[in-house]
Chains A and B, each alone.
Chain A
Amino acid sequence: MHRWLLRGLGLGYLAMLLAAPVGVVFWRAFEHGIGPAWDAVTTPDARHAFYLTVLIAAIAVPANTVFGVVCAIAIVRRRFPGKGIVNALVDLPLALSPVVVGLAFLLLYGRGGWFGSWVSDHGIQVVFALPGMVLATIFVSLPFVVREVVPVLREIGTEQEQAASTLGASPLQTFARITLPSIRWAVAYGVVLTTARALGEFGAVSVVSGHIVGKTETLTLHVEERYQSFDYVGAYAAAVVLAMLAIGTLLAMSVFRPKEATR
């Protein structure tokens, strides 16, 4: 009796909140057949938005992966002044509104910003252009690799690394032969989460992009812009592309997910 009640409550909640809405979007996108949906996602603007989204992720994800591994090693293995601050700063992007993140980059690199005149004197456009969007994406997707790698590094301990260096391995050799193989699944999981966040970021990118159609419009911004211009098929079709990327992410997550018992 209890069991059925709880099961009904939990599954009903998930169905209403999650399964039904996502299902309806797929249905709406293909309401008029596959043809119009396909046409909508292959317009030059949509294709450029897709290209830009992938390009930004292709810069932000490797940058955050390298930083994430280095930073995790620093947090777990090294002692340095301000370590507590570094630890707190890494989690900060999770607690910040994406709009505030966007505002921060405007205030740094925009007109009248701290580095605004310096970058424009050097002919670089950061805000309302690719560099600003990349910076905002790096900011919001920064914590994931660090947070996945830190617990694994703690758990594996330092004995093998110490043994390797006693036997004459250089720090780089120790890293490549001992540390990296033991953290590779955690890194992979972190990369999946980083990629998901980078592909799907909306708020921060929305503020710094300037919404120039066909120029600084990512796929998420494209969904909004199409919806606001009452092109529902275009909005739903682009949303379905993003939803399929998300489902791909879910599959990758279930492959790389750290087993609860070993955490």
Chain B
Amino acid sequence: MGLATAYLSLIVLLPLAAVTWKAAKSGRTGFWQVVSDPQAVSALKLTLVVSVAVCAINAVMGTVIAWILVRDRFPGQGAVNAIIDLPFALPTIVAGLTLLTLYGPRGPAGVNVAFTRTAVLLALLFVTLPFVIRTVQPVLLELDRDMEEAAASLGAGSFAIFRRIVFPNLFPAILSGVALAFARAIGEFGSVVLISGNLPFKTEVASVYIFGRIESGDAAGAAAESVVLLVITFGVLLAIGTLRRWTTRHDRA
């Protein structure tokens, strides 16, 4: 078991320690100077706003798609189910290139969103597509339909049934999926780098900003911004985890 711990320390813990140490070495004023730089603040703000939007869209569309995969029957359903995992299997740079090809300057659809914030949103929606679907799907499969049938026989409409019976049961799973999507969205790099154009103050996300710092030899700045990104990620994941635990406990009480 020592082997596993040693491997983990060497591969994961030590590199992280190096980033934190580098950020801490610049001192409080140095750290603050880097983090409060307008370009860094703008990148972080964009990343957070778009990640939250991605979570909201995924919560709705992920649930809809999980629903039609479990409760609906249509030809080609198996194929649709199989391609859901494509964004996971497809390298991020290829994901960015595919979106740029269709929705970019030379795209056949006549729509050009390249180098806009919409492009960032699109790229993040692409790479986070599977998370909510794949967490909601198994719960929906196991959900007993007795309650829904009972509600229907008591005269509840389909919207009331969804809101009162299905949704509360799915909510913890949706939250888990959203947490995974958020963690992915906030640090995403490969899919954004081509389509967003990385324009400072406009379409530059936090990970691209960190990349720029590294390329210009400012490792301390990159480390400071990385630490901020890490703290935000863990804060949000912790909050979602707490909310999830709280709602599940509430249901059973």
Contacts and interface: CB of A to CB of B under 8 A. Distances in A.
Contact of B229 (A17, A28, A100, A235): A100
A142 B11 contact: yes
A201 interface: yes
B98 to A, nearest CB: 4
Interface stretch (A158-166, A169-177, A249-257): A249-257
Interface stretch (B2-10, B32-40, B148-156, B245-253): B2-10
B15 A105 contact: yes
Interface stretch (A38-46, A107-115, A178-186): A107-115
A100 B187 contact: yes
Contacts of A90: 8
Contacts of A20: 102, 109
B126 A17 contact: yes
Nearest to B109: A20
Contact of B89 (A97, A203, A207, A253): A253
Nearest to A239: B94
Interface string B76-111: 000010111111111111100111011100011100
B237 interface: yes
Interface in B218-247: 219, 222-223, 226, 229-230, 233-234, 237
B158 A10 contact: no
A25 B94 contact: yes
Residue among B64, B89, B183 with the most chain A CB within 10 A? B89
Contacts of B203: none
Given A7-B72, A18-B83, A86-B4, A13 B65 contact: yes
B187 A7 contact: no
Given A6-B68, A94-B183, A103-B223, A247 B89 contact: yes
Interface in A110-166: 110, 113-114, 135, 138-139, 142
Mostly, the A contact residues are: helix
A3 B206 CA distance: 40
Interface in B160-213: 180, 183-184, 186-190, 193-194, 206-208, 210-211
B101 A246 contact: no
Contacts of B64: 6, 9-10, 13
B30 interface: no
Interface residues of B, number: 80
Contacts of B18: 104, 107-108, 113-114
A93 B13 CA distance: 11
Contact of A14 (B80, B90, B99): B80
Contacts of B230: 96, 100
B143 interface: no
Contacts of B206: 97
Contact of A135 (B11, B87, B190): B11
Contact of B214 (A10, A80, A102): A102
Interface residues of A, number: 81
B50 interface: no
A139 B1 contact: no
Contact of A97 (B80, B84, B210): B210
B89 to A, nearest CB: 4
Contact of B101 (A25, A102, A193, A263): A25
A261 B82 CA distance: 18
Contact of B91 (A7, A235, A242): A242
B56 interface: no
A22 B89 contact: no
A253 B206 CA distance: 32
A227 B129 CA distance: 25
Contact of A2 (B74, B92, B158, B214): B158
B97 A239 contact: yes
The 3 closest A-B pairs by CB, nearest first: A97-B187, A200-B91, A104-B15
Given A14-B65, A96-B233, 14 more contacts: A13-B65, A17-B126, A17-B129, A86-B8, A100-B230, A103-B219, A107-B19, A207-B214, A220-B92, A220-B94, A220-B190, A236-B97, A246-B90, A260-B138
24 contacts: A7-B68, A10-B68, A13-B64, A17-B125, A20-B102, A24-B101, A25-B94, A82-B5, A96-B187, A96-B230, A99-B207, A100-B19, A101-B15, A108-B14, A139-B15, A221-B93, A223-B94, A224-B193, A224-B194, A239-B93, A246-B91, A249-B89, A253-B85, A254-B82
Interface of B: 1, 3-5, 7-8, 11-16, 18-19, 21-22, 61, 64-65, 67-68, 72, 74, 80, 82-94, 97-99, 101-103, 107-109, 122, 125-126, 129, 137-138, 141-142, 158, 180, 183-184, 186-190, 193-194, 206-208, 210-211, 214, 219, 222-223, 226, 229-230, 233-234, 237
